[in-house]
C-alpha cells in the first residue's frame, strides 16, 4: 500500500478589527424586550463584529447574547460571509419573538433571527 501524499494545510487569516472603527448602533424592541445592536465596521463598511445589549435581562440571557455575538464576530473575521451568516441564523425560533419596533423587520422569531434580518436589510439591501 502506497502512503498518502501530504496534504496542504490551510491556515485561515483573521481580519481583526482596528482599535478605532466606525459602527452603527440600532435601538429595537421585540415584544416588550428592548435592546441595542451595535455593528462594528471594517474600513470598507462591511460588518466585522456584532454586539447586543438587552435591557433588563438576566445574566443568563445577557451571557448567551454575548457568547453568540462573540462567536459570530470571530466567524465573520475569519471569513464567514454575511450571506452565509444570515442563511444560518435567519428563521431560528425561540423567545422573545413577535412584533418589533423596526418597520423594515416587522416581526422576529428570536433575537438571533432579528439580528440576521437586520443585517440582511441594512447591509445586503434586501427587504423582508
Given this model, what pLDDT does residue 121 score?
A: 97
pLDDT band of 128, cuts 50, 70, 90: low
In a domain, 111, yes or no: yes
What is the mean predicted confidence (pLDDT) over 97-125?
A: 97
Tens digits of per-residue pLDDT, 5-61? 777 888 899 999 999 999 999 999 998 899 999 999 999 999 999 999 998 777 788
Q: Is the pLDDT of residue 4 over 80?
A: no
Average pLDDT, the chain: 93
Helix pair angle (82-89, 111-123), 10° resolution: 150
pTM of the model: 0.89
Flag whether 12 is in a domain: no
* Residue 9 lies inside a defined structural domain of this protein: no
In a domain, 88, yes or no: yes
- The tally of domains found in the chain comes to 1
Q: Judge whether 115 lies within some domain.
A: yes
Does residue 10 form part of some domain? no
93 contacts 84 by C-beta, under 8 angstroms: no
What is the C-alpha to C-alpha distance for residues 97 and 75, in angstroms, rounded to an integer? 25
Give the residue numbers spanning the domain of 94.
23-123
Q: What is the DSSP string of 35-62?
A: EEEEEEE-TTS-EEEEEEEETT--HHHH
Amino acid at each position: 500500500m502506497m502512503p498518502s501524499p501530504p496534504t496542504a494545510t490551510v491556515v485561515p487569516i483573521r481580519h481583526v478589527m482596528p482599535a478605532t472603527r466606525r459602527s452603527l448602533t440600532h435601538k429595537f424592541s421585540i415584544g416588550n424586550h428592548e435592546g441595542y445592536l451595535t455593528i462594528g465596521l471594517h474600513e470598507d463598511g462591511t460588518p466585522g463584529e456584532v454586539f447586543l445589549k438587552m435591557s433588563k435581562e438576566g445574566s443568563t440571557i445577557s451571557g448567551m447574547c454575548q457568547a453568540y455575538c462573540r462567536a459570530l464576530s470571530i466567524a465573520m473575521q475569519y471569513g464567514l460571509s454575511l450571506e452565509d451568516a444570515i442563511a444560518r441564523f435567519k428563521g431560528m425560533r425561540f423567545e422573545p419573538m413577535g412584533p418589533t419596533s423596526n418597520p423594515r423587520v416587522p416581526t422576529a422569531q428570536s433575537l438571533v433571527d432579528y439580528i440576521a434580518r437586520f443585517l440582511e436589510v441594512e447591509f445586503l439591501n434586501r427587504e423582508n
